């Protein structure tokens, strides 16, 4: 006789999914609690620049906004659900607005910032302000 292995977390997740499905099927006005979407990001620094990579699958480029204020870069946007008329049979992805802000800790040249969006990845390049070089001042005779 094989005794099934007890997995508490799997059983709790299964129970939660069944309850959610039961609520959605029997109470049409019931909506799942809206979760907050926080897209993952990597921040990389080298001698000349800071580069921020955001994973934004399913986000249209026109729905993304980048701003720089002081020593912070902010990326805001929204991932919109597919066809508004369709009814989800299962929903695991999170839709809605998002906002991520990162402190840069070094001054950047705002006029040279570039952003590219390719294959669902947003890449923001923030060139550092070049250090002022020390300069010797010659005193002129008056």
All domains of the chain in start order, with CATH = 36-127 (2.60.40.790)
Judge residue 16's burial from the number of C-beta atoms within 10 Å of its C-beta, 0-12 exposed, 13-18 middle, 19 or more buried: exposed
CA distance 96 to 92: 13
Cβ of 75: how many Cβ atoms within 10 Å?
21
Q: What pTM did the predictor assign?
A: 0.67
CA distance 4 to 97: 42
pLDDT for the residue numbered 71 = 85
**pLDDT tens for the 142 residues of the chain, in order:** 666 666 777 788 788 878 877 877 777 665 555 567 889 999 999 999 999 999 999 999 999 999 998 889 999 999 988 876 777 787 788 888 999 999 998 899 999 999 999 999 999 999 998 765 566 777 778 7
The distance from CA 84 to its chain's CA centroid, rounded to whole angstroms, is 23
């Amino acid at each position: 006789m094989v005794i099934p292995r007890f997995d508490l977390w799997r059983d709790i997740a299964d129970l939660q999914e069944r309850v959610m499905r039961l609520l959605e099927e029997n109470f049409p006005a019931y909506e799942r609690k809206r979760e907050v979407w926080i897209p993952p990001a990597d921040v990389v620094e080298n001698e000349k620049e800071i580069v921020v990579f955001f994973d934004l699958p399913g986000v249209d480029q026109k729905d993304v906004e980048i701003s720089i204020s002081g020593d912070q870069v902010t990326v805001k946007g929204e991932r919109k659900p597919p066809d508004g008329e369709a009814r989800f049979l299962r929903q695991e992805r999170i839709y809605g607005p998002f906002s991520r802000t990162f402190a840069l800790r070094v001054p950047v040249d705002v006029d040279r910032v570039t952003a590219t969006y390719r294959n669902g990845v947003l890449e923001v390049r923030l060139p550092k302000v070049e250090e002022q070089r020390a300069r010797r001042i010659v005193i002129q005779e008056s």
